[in-house]
Amino acid sequence: MLRKDGVTLSGPMLEIHALEIATEHEAVGFKSSWHWQQGVSQRYELSKRARADQKKSAPEGAHDITLGFGI
């Protein structure tokens, strides 16, 4: 899911998810350190930045909303 679906991955998001999984599996003493996050990102080819060829677009209906503000 994530990047290919347009969801941005951040360090805190990765950390929260990892800590939830560690708790479920009773992994005592697990820490989502910067080095651990880097290792996971490299191992699974995760990117925290958008690809250069991705275009930013306004959500559907944004134009109508801005008209309501007189912009």
Q: What is the pLDDT of residue 22?
A: 93
pTM over 0.75: no
Give how far Cα 38 sits from Cα of 9, 10, 32, 57, Å.
13, 12, 10, 29
Q: What is the pLDDT of residue 21?
A: 92
Q: What is the pLDDT of residue 52?
A: 59
